[in-house]
Amino acid sequence: MKVAVVGGGWAGIAAAVALADAGHDIAVLEMAPHIGGRARSVAGEPPYDNGQHILIGAYRDSLALMRRLGVDPGTVLKRLPLALPYPGEPGLCLPPGPPLVSFTRGVLAHHGWPLSARLGLLAAAGGWLARGFRCDEALSVAELCAGLPAAARRDLVEPLCVAALNTPAPQASARVFLRVLKDALFSGADSADLLLPRRPLSELLAGPATAWLGERLRLGRRVQSITPGWRVDGEAFDAVVLACSSVEAARLAGPLAPAWAATAQALRFEPIVTVYLHSPGSALPAPMLALREGPQAPAQFVFDHGQLGGAPGRFAFVVSGAAPWVERGGCAEAVLAQALRELSWATPPVIDRLLTEKRATFACTPGLARPPARIAPGLYAAGDYIAGPYPATLEGAVRAGLAAAQGAAADAAGGGTGAKGAASGSPTKTP
C-alpha cells in the first residue's frame, strides 16, 4: 500500500514506523520544517523544550517506539521512583516493590500527613480498586475526591490531575483520572516511575525518526485537501492517516465525514505555560519539585535542568491548566515571585524565557465525546485527542498512531474491522 501520514508528531511517527515496518510505502507530510509536533525542542543553547515533558514507566508503547528507532530510554531519560517532594518537605515517595504494596507503604510512611489522612486515602484507593477504577462518566475529579482528606487532595490529587489531564480537578474527568491512576500506580512494577528527559526533547524521538524516515519525509508541506479515492492534494494514495491536530483533521475530513469532523471540532483546549528561570550556581534539592498553586502562585512543578543533564542554572516552571494566567497576563513575573518566596537561590533568578502553548492539550472534561480513529474505510485519524483511555499524552498519541496504522492496513487487506474499538464516524466516550 501507498499510505500518506499527514503530520509528524509522536502519533504520526508511530503510525509511519508501524506502516513502514509492515512493508508499506509511506510518505509523511509535515507542515513545519521539522517533525516532533508539540513535543519538540526550540532554539537555544542548549535547546529549550517547547514544554517540560514527563513520561512514566507505564508509557510502554512510547518506550518501545524509541527503542525501535535506536534510542535507549535508559540514556535519554532519568528514571526516578514516583516522589512528589515540596520545598522543605519530603512529600509522598513510593518505595520499590509490587504496586499495591509500594503505594500502601509510601502513603503510610508519609509523615507530613496526619494518620487520618493517610488512612483515608488508602481507604478511598481500596474503593477505587474494588470498583475496577471505573466511575460514572459525568463525575469530575473534584467530585470523585470530595470525601478525601484535604491534605491528600491538595498534595496528591490536585497536582497529579493537573499534570496528567492538564485540566483543573473541578473540571477534569474522574473516569480518565482513575484510568491514569490505575495504569501508573496499580499496574506492573516500575509503572509509576517518573522518566524525566535528560536530552533535549527532539532527541527523544523526532531527531532519530527524521534520520530513520529519510526521503519518506516531506517537510514544509501543509496538506490542503483530501478527496475520496484517496487523493492528498491531488496525489493518489491507498490509505491516509490524519495525524495532524484535531482542528486540522476536522478541516480536512469535514467534506468527507461531517459528523466525525463536528466531534473533532468541538474539542476545547487548555494552555500550558513554561517559564524558564536562570540562576547560575543554584540547584534544587531534587530534579523535580511540586509546588503549591495559588492565586499568586501559578506553577505546580519546577524542574532543575542542571540535574537532568541540561544547562546548569536553568529551571523550568510548569503552569498547567493555565487559561486564567494566559487571560490575565503577568505569568512569568508571578512565577519569578513564587520562586523567590518558596525556594532558596545561590544567585537571584531572572526570567530567561516564557513559552506559551495555547492549545497544549484538549480539555479533558467529564463525559467528553472524542472522535474515533476510523473516519472512513482507508481514512484514519491519529492523535492524542482520539477516543481512548488516556488524556492528551505522548503515550495516548503513540497508541493512536499504532491503532490507525493497524486499521488502515486491515482495511486494505480487505477483511479488517479497522482500528480496535473504532466505530466509524461516531463519537466515542472514554472506555
Task: Specify the residue, 223 or 409, whose C-beta has the smaller distance to ligand FAD.
Answer: 223
How many Å apart are CA 50 and CA 99, to the nearest integer?
A: 32
Least gap, CB of 414 to ligand FAD (angstroms): 28
Q: How far is the CB of 55 from ligand FAD (least distance, A)?
A: 6
Minimum distance, C-beta of residue 29 to ligand FAD, in the bound complex (Å): 5
Nearer to ligand FAD, 173 or 361 (CB): 361
**Minimum CB distance to ligand FAD, residue 402 (Å):** 12
Contact yes or no for 218/232 (Cβ under 8 A)? no
Residues in touch with ligand FAD (CB under 6 A): 6-12, 29-32, 37-39, 50-51, 53-54, 221-223, 243-245, 248, 272, 274, 357, 360-361, 383-384, 392-394, 397
DSSP annotation string for 276-306? EEE-TT---SSSEEE---BTTB--SEEEEGG
Can you tell me whether residue 315 is helix, strand or coil? strand
Q: Which three cell numbers stand for residue 373?
A: 480513529
Least Å from the CB of residue 320 to ligand FAD: 8
Nearer residue to ligand FAD within complex by CB, 61 or 155: 61
Concatenate the DSSP letters of all residues of 142-157 into one string: HHHTTTS-HHHIIIII
- Our CB check for ligand FAD shows the closer of 107 and 273 to be 273
CB of 348 to ligand FAD, least distance (A): 26
Contact (Cβ atoms closer than 8 angstroms) between residue 217 and residue 8: yes
List beta partners, residue 232: 226, 235
Give the orientation angle of helix 10-21 with respect to helix 206-213, to 10 degrees. 40
Q: Considering beta carbons, is residue 243 or 343 the nearer one to ligand FAD?
A: 243
Which CB sits closer to ligand FAD, 148 or 405? 405
Task: Give Cα separations from 122 to 89, 105, 405, 423 (angstroms).
Answer: 21, 10, 41, 38
Which residue bears the cell 507530510? 29
In the bound complex, what is the minimum distance in angstroms from residue 294's beta carbon to ligand FAD?
A: 21
Which H or E element spans position 360? strand 350-362
Task: Between 3 and 6, name the residue whose CB sits nearer to ligand FAD.
Answer: 6
